[in-house]
Amino acid sequence: MDLEVAIRPSVQIRSERLWTKRRGGPRRGEPQDLLKTDEPHPDSGDIVARWDNRKQGRNPAITFRASQMLTAQVATRLPATSQAGRHVRGIAEQVIEALSSVFILDPVPHQMREYHPEKDVRLRRNAENLSPVLANLLKDDSTRSVLLNMIRSLSEAQVSEMNAVASELGDVMVTIQEQIGPATQPTPARLMSDGTLRFLAIAAALLDLSQFNGEVERAEGDGRMLVVEEIESGLHPSQVAVLLNQLKESTKNGVQTVATTHSPAVLNALDGPDHSSVVVCSRNDSGWSTATKLTDFPDYFEVAGRSPLGTAAIRDQLRPGNGLPQDGHSLVDVLGLR
């Protein structure tokens, strides 16, 4: 799906194209438009698109609202009375399902320190309802064990238990029990550090599958995606590896994670096989933002071979084609790659 959105004078769809590649025939491999907009009218709140009815001649036109993605409107606009119509509707449904499976998490710690209703168990983007979400997850013994192991590896304190304390009104707040000498000291969410709360929010998002598209159960490997902004925020550098290991484990349950970072500690915690998953965002000479896979850098071997990635980032060497000062034979020359 190719999508262009205008932001002035108002936010609306400027152009949209839903297409696939032909699977057979003499034009196999060529693009085939399933839904494509005509030129928009700047003074109109509607936009016209044409859909593939698999008949000769020009595709029929249908008017859509320009204020919403057209693919999301296909189910109510295209007829289901023909095989062609059902085909386009089915493709649109797959696209919407894929987009709906993306959960963007931007935890705000100070909003997690309050009691929340026990039944409020679907994690919100800012994770303000973290306590009831964790309380619900702790009901499952295996999930409780994973959460406890994660928080124990995160904290220097001796954590013995994690539970939720209920108020008289039925609201809950998550609490961690810490062993200090012979005594046990409870630490409620309102007293936890920002880093601990962010860590627990990310853990909850990874372990709770119900926030993805609002479904209680989803099959493994169905393309769920968790997006986390500034994943290292509030964490001690030594705790970053713990979180990254859990992110890798989550892929076994069918959850992909996209995380942004500016932290050298995060980059240094990555193993060699992880480099293929690193994408570097930068500005080109024209001012446009670009995204380049680290392993596609022309000087990748030099960057990865000379120092840890975090050190390279500090030296501003994680930019496509930045080049490195050469002293003697470079690794690229030795391997005969240049």
Please tell me the predicted confidence (pLDDT) of residue 326.
46
What are the domain boundaries of the chain? 2-99, 104-259, 270-334
Q: What is the 3-state secondary structure (H, E, C) of 266-326?
A: HHHCCCHHHHHHCEEEEECCCCCEEEEEHHHCCCHHHHHHHCCHHHHHHCCCCCCCCCCCC
Say which CATH topology domain 104-259 has: Rossmann fold (3.40.50)
Residues of the chain with pLDDT under 50: 213-221, 324-329, 331, 334, 337-338
Q: How far apart, in whole angstroms, are the C-alpha atoms of residue 33 and residue 141? A: 50
Structure tokens at 283: 């500005």
Q: pTM (2 decimals)?
A: 0.74
pLDDT, residue 95, reads 93
Residue carrying structure tokens 């928009």: 40
**Position 128, amino acid:** E
